[in-house]
Amino acid sequence: MRVLVQRVLEAKVRVNGKTVGEIGKGLLLFVGFTDTDTSKEINYLVDKVINLRIFDDENGVMNNSLLNIGGSILSVSQFTLYADTSKGRRPSYVKALNGNDACKLYDEFNQKLSNKGLKIQTGIFGADMKVSLINDGPVTIMLEKEAV
């Protein structure tokens, strides 16, 4: 499982010209799954995301988590996080989990974030989404948990 985390001042996702998810200060998460992912990887990454200390404290040091600042999350599914570009010029997505199973894990991931008391907005799984954001910093971090 991979989660690309971007610290944002604001972010939104649109589908067919309509805003389906929008947040202010918080985290924009691009979320991808591979065929070995389970709830174990989800639990690990939910904990990592909400406790990741990447927000400034009163001294301008990245020492606060999303929980500390009361921020929001915009979660967007993105199978392309598992693109394999090792051969040729066209990415292969054979490492990405199939849509039906990935959708179930994506819903579970978002539900577990919501269960932590956070404000969660999402895109629409499988849709052609237009994402806009103001990256704060910029701060962009790749999180990954492989099944063991």
Note if 38 is an active site residue. Answer: no
Check 6, 30, 34, 78 and give the catalytic one. Answer: 78
DSSP assignment, residue 67?
A: H
What beta strand segments (E) does 16-128 contain? 18-23, 26-32, 55-56, 62-64, 72-77, 119-122
Note if 79 is an active site residue. Answer: yes
Check 19, 36, 38, 80 and give the catalytic one. Answer: 80
**What CA–CA distance (Å, rounded) separates 148 from 145?**
9
Contact partners, residue 140, CB within 8 Å, separation at least 6? 4, 5, 6, 7
Check 34, 79, 109, 122 and give the catalytic one. Answer: 79
Note if 121 is an active site residue. Answer: no
Catalytic residues: 78-80
